């Protein structure tokens, strides 16, 4: 048993979709969340930049004595995690493998769409992980550069967001997909609008649910579940604007966010 926190990170509010699942599935756990808002969006950053950010954030989280790390970011799960997991001193997991598993279970017609950041799409991570499980599936991907700035600004509805959804998701629907992976952790906040725009018959996959299932298994097997759930801590740190994270974060997650600390790691 361990009452140490779980470390969770993303470029901004996207990883709160993982926090949301964590609060539902493992409400007694403590966590430290880091939103790298000084560098959002991650989707357009180079490999070198992403490695630099990941090293600094992981060092910060380890300093907070975390017992495990959740890379609550599709971009880092695709680009840096395969390298970082070789040397991380605590268990570390990302969202891509769980998301791929969930998509394979969900599809009936064998055609899966993936929407994600440019860096994630370029990495081919979702296609590879889905095809590793079932090579017969067809995977169609689209990079959605406009989504993250809209979500970081709390704009989850309205003509601008609807137009972006039609532009990105429309061509995937034309391919005949029945399952759409929300392959950037920001995107599940758009799920209600995507469902409305896409119509019935499209299953949306939020990788956060399966990621938290995997986390729960890791904690259980490692005897790391929190033995003092009554004394859990929930801390939020950002590298950039703490005020906008506080406002948009509370809009998305509610009053679990009590205070946001600004800490500059660079």
**Interacting residues with ligand DGL (CB under 6 A):** 10-11, 14, 40-43, 73-75, 117, 120, 148, 184-186
Residue nearer to ligand DGL on the CB measure, 126 or 140: 126
Minimum distance from residue 154 beta carbon to ligand DGL (Å): 15
Distance of alpha carbon 188 from alpha carbon 184, whole angstroms: 8
Name the DSSP letter for residue 110.
S
- Cis bond upstream, residue 246 (ω within 30): no
Q: Which one, 2 or 113, has the nearer CB to ligand DGL?
A: 113
Looking at the Cβ atoms of 14 and 226, the one nearer to ligand DGL is: 14
Nearer to ligand DGL, 45 or 226 (CB): 45
Instruction: Name the residues annotated as catalytic.
Output: 73, 184
Contact 42, 244 (CB under 8 A): no
Residue 187 CB, shortest distance to ligand DGL, in Å, is 8
Percent helix, strand and coil across the chain, each to the nearest 5: 50, 15, 35
Residue of minimal CB distance from ligand DGL? Answer: 14
Cα distance between residue 108 and residue 253, in whole Å = 32
Contact 242, 261 (CB under 8 A): yes
CB of 50 to ligand DGL, least distance (A): 10
Instruction: Report the distance separating Cα 171 and Cα 51, nearest Å.
Output: 32
> Nearest distance from residue 105's CB to ligand DGL, in Å?
21
* The two three-digit tokens of residue 223, written as one number: 């005897």
């Amino acid at each position: 048993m361990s009452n140490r926190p779980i470390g969770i990170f993303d470029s901004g509010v996207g990883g709160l979709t993982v926090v949301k699942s964590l609060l539902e599935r493992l409400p007694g756990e403590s966590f430290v969340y880091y939103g790298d808002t000084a560098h959002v969006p991650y989707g357009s950053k180079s490999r070198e930049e992403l490695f630099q950010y990941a090293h600094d954030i992981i060092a910060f989280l380890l300093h907070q004595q975390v017992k495990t790390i959740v890379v609550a970011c599709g971009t880092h799960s695709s680009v840096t995690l395969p390298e970082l997991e070789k040397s991380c001193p605590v268990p570390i997991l990302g969202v891509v493998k769980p998301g791929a598993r969930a998509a394979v279970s969900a599809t009936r017609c064998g055609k899966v769409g993936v929407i994600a950041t440019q860096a994630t799409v370029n990495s081919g991570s979702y296609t590879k992980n889905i095809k590793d499980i079932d090579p017969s599936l067809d995977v169609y991907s689209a990079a959605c550069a406009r989504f993250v700035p809209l979500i970081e600004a709390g704009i989850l509805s309205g003509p601008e967001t609807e137009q972006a959804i039609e532009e990105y998701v429309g061509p995937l629907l034309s391919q005949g997909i029945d399952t759409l992976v929300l392959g950037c952790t920001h995107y599940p906040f758009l799920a209600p609008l995507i469902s409305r725009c896409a119509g019935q018959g499209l299953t949306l996959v939020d990788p956060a649910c399966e990621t938290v299932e995997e986390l729960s298994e890791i904690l259980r097997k490692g005897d790391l579940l929190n033995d003092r759930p009554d004394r859990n801590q929930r801390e939020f740190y950002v590298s950039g604007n703490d005020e906008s994270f506080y406002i948009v974060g509370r809009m998305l997650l509610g009053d679990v966010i009590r205070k946001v600390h600004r800490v500059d790691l660079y």
